[in-house]
């Protein structure tokens, strides 16, 4: 009978007969019979199509719970299924607390649709995320409708790359509870960009805790942001562009509670006079500094370096120089060096005893390394350490390249640090045809020493001295990938390090290393994960 009704295009009756047959068969104890299996197979397509029930038949508490798992995009798909569903979604403002558009919108939503969303959220959305305003075809009217949807918004993310730059309405209720703000702009400087940033900051100055601006406009002055904890700014990414300036003292005065600072392609400059006592009281809560340099030329103003006081609160310092400079320049970590070595004797807050992460890529800092790290090593707080081996571009290193051995012999105090869990080694040179510098040679009159024939072995010995090491990062533009693979294998065979990030391995060599890692029970990855922001820090009592 089921087949007959199926052929007569009565699928619901066919499904009813097959359900009845399955129910009778189960009661008669034929659960494993071939005929009952045929009924299940015949019913399956119709069961998927007609066996579903409207979830609105369930208790409202369960319906609320079901739809709470849907994101904004999925809610937009289902809210207009029928009038009953439309009424339900129109009366559940809690489901519309997070308005988040995907970056790959198939079509731009209409102004009418955005106003409908505003009505459904009852102007109560807590989060507004627009990664690509251009895909949204943002206009001033659409922007106003979205802001009306999220009057009490605590998080705003707005991508305005190659997009219309809207104006912020003067309504004081808009964004006056904002806690987290992320903006991204095009590389071209636009006065409207600056006006928008300043307007949002003025509205949120009493509540804002996190600010992230990608390709930020020139921020010569900013309002007093008394609660701001996390500040991240990036300038233009093109290699030959001029770095943007940050007036450090003015920003420090406007962000007294700052805990973490991340700068990319920004020129730090001081153009203000300040009192010496005032300098030592700035950024007393600053715990993490991350500076990335992707363009040619200096990122700090060598005429005035006094920007970061050597505060005891500092727990993480990262400096990445992703493009070599044309000439030796004072890189961001020099600011740490200058005052880390010469703190005022009467200032009890000077020093870096609580440093957990010291990660420097792209340039070496041999002379002051011990002065910076030794307090953290003695206190046992240092967890993550990255070392860049010196080369001829470093002002302290000379005019020629030298082997890895030369650097390792200058840091005997760093061998075997018990607290280090993650170690990064960058730009080491394994060429044995190079000569050792005078600084590591024997006393005058003795024959000049030659470098060891196996520089890779020296690196392995250095790594093996860290008793609690868990993760190793290896990358060098000064040697081929096979020697790096040899170092990785040698360390992995010891069974102590369980995760490797090795840059430069490709093709068959990478496949071989992954197979080797599976055999030894270790992870060997090609790219290192991008450091999260804000920088995760251990509880100081546990560090």
pLDDT in tens, 395-416: 444 545 667 777 888 888 899 9
What is the residue-wise DSSP string for 235-289?
A: ---STTSPPEEEEHHHHHHH-TT--EEEEESEEEE--S---HHHHHHTTTT--EE
Q: Which of 342, 360, 359 is nearest to 351 (CA)?
A: 342
Pull the structure tokens for residue 138: 């943002």
Q: From CA 353, how far away is CA 109, in angstroms rounded?
A: 54
CATH of the domain at 468: 3.40.50
The answer, yes or no, to whether residue 527 has pLDDT greater than 60, is yes
Mean pLDDT of 118-139: 89
Q: What are the strands, taking DSSP E only, across 380-421?
A: 384-388
Q: Which two tokens stand for residue 436?
A: 């050792």
User: Between residues 6 and 356, which one has the greater pLDDT?
Assistant: 356
Q: Give domain status of residue 313, yes or no.
A: no
CA pair distance 502, 505, nearest whole angstrom: 7
Q: State which of 15, 37, 52 marks the end of a domain.
A: 52
Domain assignment present for residue 316? The answer is no
- Angstrom distance (rounded) from CA 151 to CA 93: 14
More confident residue, 30 or 290: 290
The SS3 assignment for 411 reads: coil
> Measured between alpha carbons, how far is 300 from 332 in angstroms, rounded to an integer?
6
Question: What pLDDT was estimated at residue 417?
Answer: 93
Give the residue carrying structure tokens 């439309």.
86
- The two structure tokens encoding residue 160: 């305005």
Q: How confident is the model over 293-323, as pLDDT tens digits?
A: 754 444 444 444 445 555 667 899 888 775 5
Domain residue limits at 21: 2-52
Domain C-terminal end among 52, 67, 93:
52
Q: With 80 as the cut, is the pLDDT of residue 369 above it?
A: no
**pLDDT, mean of residues 235-264:** 77
508 within some domain = yes
**pLDDT for 449-467, tens place per residue?**
555 667 788 889 999 999 9
pLDDT band for 143, please (50, 70, 90 cuts). Answer: very high
Angle (CA) 426 351 246, round 5°: 70
C-alpha to C-alpha distance for 321 and 312, rounded to whole angstroms: 25
Rounded distance between C-alpha atoms, residue 136 and residue 142, angstroms: 9
- Does a structural domain hold residue 527? yes
Burial-class residue 126 by CB neighbours within 10 Å (0-12, 13-18, 19+): middle
**47 vs 11: CA distance, rounded Å:** 10
The answer to whether the peptide bond before residue 534 is cis (omega within 30 degrees of 0) is yes
Within 10 A of 342 (CB to CB), how many other CB atoms are there?
A: 11
Lowest mean pLDDT among 88-92, 290-294, 324-328, 332-336: 324-328
The answer to the question of residue 515 being in a domain is yes
| List of residues 6+ apart from 71 with CB closer than 8 A | 98, 100
Q: Give the pLDDT of residue 109.
A: 87
Number of domains in the chain: 2
| Cβ contact 365:319 at 8 Å | no
- The pTM assigned to this predicted structure is 0.80
Q: Residue 69: inside a domain, yes or no?
A: no
The answer to whether residue 111 is domain-embedded is no
243 belongs to a structural domain: no
Distance CA 180, CA 316 (A): 22
Question: Which stretches within 60-149 are classed as H helix?
Answer: 60-67, 72-78, 83-90, 111-121, 133-136, 140-149
Give the DSSP letter string of 227-241: T--EEEEE---STTS
């Amino acid at each position: 009978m089921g087949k007959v009704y199926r052929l007569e295009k009565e699928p619901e009756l066919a499904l009813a007969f097959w359900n009845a047959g399955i129910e009778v068969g189960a009661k008669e104890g034929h659960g494993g019979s071939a005929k009952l299996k045929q009924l299940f197979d015949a019913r399956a397509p119709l069961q998927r199509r007609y066996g579903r029930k409207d979830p609105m038949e369930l208790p409202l508490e369960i319906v609320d719970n079901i739809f709470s798992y849907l994101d904004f995009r999925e809610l937009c798909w289902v809210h207009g299924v029928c009038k009953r569903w439309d009424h339900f979604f129109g009366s559940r403002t809690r489901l519309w607390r997070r308005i988040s558009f995907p970056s790959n919108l198939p079509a731009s939503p209409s102004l009418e649709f955005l106003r409908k969303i505003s009505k459904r959220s009852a102007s109560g959305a807590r989060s507004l995320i627009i990664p690509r305003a251009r895909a949204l075809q943002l206009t001033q009217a659409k922007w106003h409708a979205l802001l009306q949807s999220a009057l009490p918004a605590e998080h705003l993310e707005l991508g305005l790359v190659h997009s219309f730059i809207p104006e912020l309405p003067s309504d004081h209720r808009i964004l006056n509870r904002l806690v987290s703000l992320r903006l991204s702009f095009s590389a071209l400087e636009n006065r409207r960009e600056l006006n928008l940033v300043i307007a949002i900051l003025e509205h949120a100055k009493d509540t804002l805790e996190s600010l992230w601006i990608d390709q930020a406009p020139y921020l010569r002055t900013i309002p007093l942001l008394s609660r701001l904890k996390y500040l991240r700014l990036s300038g233009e990414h093109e290699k030959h562009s001029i770095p943007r300036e940050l007036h450090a003292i003015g920003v420090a005065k406007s962000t007294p509670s700052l805990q973490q600072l991340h700068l990319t392609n920004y020129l730090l400059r001081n153009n203000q006079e300040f009192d010496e006592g005032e300098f030592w009281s700035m950024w007393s809560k600053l715990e993490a500094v991350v500076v990335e340099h992707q363009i040619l030329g200096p990122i700090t103003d060598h005429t005035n370096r006094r920007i970061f006081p050597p505060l005891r609160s500092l727990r993480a310092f990262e400096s990445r120089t992703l493009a070599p400079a044309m000439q030796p320049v004072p890189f961001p970590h020099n600011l740490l060096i200058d005052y880390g070595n010469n703190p005022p004797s009467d200032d009890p807050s000077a020093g870096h005893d609580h440093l957990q992460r010291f990660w420097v890529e792209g340039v070496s800092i041999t002379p002051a390394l011990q002065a910076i790290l030794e307090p953290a090593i003695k206190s046992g707080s240092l967890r993550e350490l990255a070392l860049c081996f010196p080369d001829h571009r470093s002002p302290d290193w000379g005019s020629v390249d030298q082997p890895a051995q030369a650097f390792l012999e200058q840091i005997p105090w760093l061998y075997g640090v018990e607290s280090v869990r993650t170690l990064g080694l960058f730009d080491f040179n394994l060429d044995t045809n190079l000569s050792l510098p005078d600084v590591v040679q024997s006393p005058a009159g003795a024959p000049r020493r030659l470098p060891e024939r196996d520089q890779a072995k020296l690196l392995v010995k250095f790594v093996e001295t860290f008793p609690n090491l868990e993760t190793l990062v290896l990358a060098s533009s000064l040697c081929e990938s096979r020697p790096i693979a040899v170092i990785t294998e040698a360390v992995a065979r010891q069974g102590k390090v369980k995760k490797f990030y090795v840059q430069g391995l490709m093709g068959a060599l990478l496949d071989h290393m992954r197979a080797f890692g599976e055999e030894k029970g270790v992870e060997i990855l090609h790219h290192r994960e991008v450091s999260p922001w804000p920088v995760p820090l251990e509880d100081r009592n546990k560090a």
